[in-house]
Structure formats: structure tokens, C-alpha cells
Amino acid sequence: MTRRVRKPINQINVVPYIDVMLVLLVIFMVTAPLVTPGAIELPSVGSKLVAPVLPLEVSLGPNKSLALLDQATKVSQTRLTKEQLVARVLEKQQGGQEQAVVIKADKNARYEDVIEILDLLQRNGVRKVGLLARPAS
């Protein structure tokens, strides 16, 4: 009596898996419209949301003239010295609100003058200082 040697199977029959997947797909397609979506209850906030504070605008003219415009109150102060500018900006930021400061320079102003004002404000502890640019149209 000769015995047959079995060869190892090197292929997987995936047909039963496809059948099971198709049955599950049909079940999900039938039950999905029957499921009602749950209502989402959002948490409430303890205090009212505060609108962002409009920035202070430092204007630098081509002849190094300085002006300060408070966007929130639309109060403008012109012909300021550097010391007056720093004092007014620090005074506005004292209220505890994080009011940003933007530097708006004339296109004919020197780059060195803009950097000097930026550096002066940052050295004196003014927070949130940036440059204002007009978008290209």
C-alpha cells in the first residue's frame, strides 16, 4: 500500500470571505436609513465671548513723523516723539487686554526707520507688535 504524500496548499480561497462581506453590506444598507441620528448637545460657556480688540496703529511717514491711531475709539494722535509713542502704547496696553500694535509705514519710508520703531516698542515691553501691509490688488 503506497501512501500519498499531501502537498501544502499555497493558495487561499477568498470566495467565502467575499460572500460574508456582501451579506454584511446588504445588512448595513438596509439598517442605515432606519437609524436616527442623535442630537448633539453643545456645552455652554460660563461667560460671554469677547470680541477681539482692534489694534493700535502706529503710522510712520516718509519724513520719520509718527502718529498713533486707536482703531477701537478712532482717536488719532499725530506728531508724537518716540518717547510719547511708547508711553501712549504702554498706557493703552495697561488695561489688561491684549491689544495688538501694528506699524503702518509709508512705502517711501526707510526700512531702517521701521525696524527702529519695531525694536523700540519691543525693548520697552510692548507686546504683540507687527507690521501692517496692504494686500496686492
CATH of the domain at 64: 3.30.420.270
The pLDDT score that the predictor gives to residue 57 is 92
pLDDT in tens, 33-69: 888 777 777 767 666 666 677 888 999 988 889 999 9
Question: What is the count of structural domains for the chain?
Answer: 1
Domain encompassing residue 111: 56-131
Residue 25 lies inside a defined structural domain of this protein:
no
Higher pLDDT, 9 or 101: 101
In a domain, 28, yes or no: no
| In a domain? residue 36 | no
Could you tell me if residue 43 is inside a domain?
no
> Is 2 domain-assigned?
no
Segment 104-118 shows an average pLDDT of: 91
Q: Do 58 and 85 meet the contact criterion of CB atoms below 8 Å apart?
A: yes
